[in-house]
Amino acid sequence: MQDIQKLISGFRRFQRQFFHSDDTLFDQLRRKQTPKVLVIGCSDSRVDPAIITDCRPGDLFVIRNVANLVPPYEPDTHYHGISSALEYAVRFLEVEHIIILGHSHCGGIDALMRSSEQTPIGEFIDRWVDIARPAKNAVLKDLSKKTTEL
């Protein structure tokens, strides 16, 4: 309960200090968002795109998921949260830049690199990070041709 109370206190502080300190910005954001940059970042709690790029509310349209992956285009009847957010940013918000924001010590990429058909990581994680398996295989193949000698 203490963690929830911290969030509530933080929200109240935001309302008192940050929100009221820039009435013009939040008045504009109430009417419309116009971010120029879409960031596809990792869900990792240590890597918040707005904080690490020193952006203000409305500067970035952010999509976050495990390992900052973009699934392939698959027009079917399944749910497509990442694809729909990407489509919204490009078609309706008309973002000008798309950044895939990776980071070191990523648990999702670690799961991809450690996973194999014989050692599943998790029911949903394995299937999700498998999106990047072709890239993993290409990198491992390329690295096998490299020497560590200088």
Query: Could you list the residue range(s) of the whole structural domain that residue 119 is in?
Result: 33-144
pLDDT for position 150? 55
Mean pLDDT, range 82-100, rounded to an integer:
98
Q: Does 26 fall in a domain? A: no
Active site residue 46: yes
pLDDT at 24 (0 to 100): 86
Query: Is 103 an active-site residue?
Result: yes
Average pLDDT, the chain: 91
Instruction: Check which CATH number belongs to the domain holding 56 and give it.
Output: 3.40.1050.10
**Residue that wins the pLDDT comparison between 142 and 119:** 142
Is 44 one of the annotated active-site residues of the chain?
yes
Q: Tell me: the pLDDT tens digits for 22-39? A: 788 888 999 999 999 999
At 15, the pLDDT band (50, 70, 90 cuts) reads confident
Query: For the residues of 110-137, what is the DSSP string, one character each?
Result: HHHHH-BTTB---HHHHHHHGGGHHHHH
Which listed residue (13, 46, 97, 114) is catalytic?
46
DSSP code at position 73: P
Coil/strand/helix, residue 101: strand
- On whether residue 47 sits in a domain, the answer given is yes
In a domain, 19, yes or no: no
Q: What single letter denotes the amino acid at residue 124? A: F
With respect to residue 80, please indicate whether it lies within any of the assigned structural domains: yes
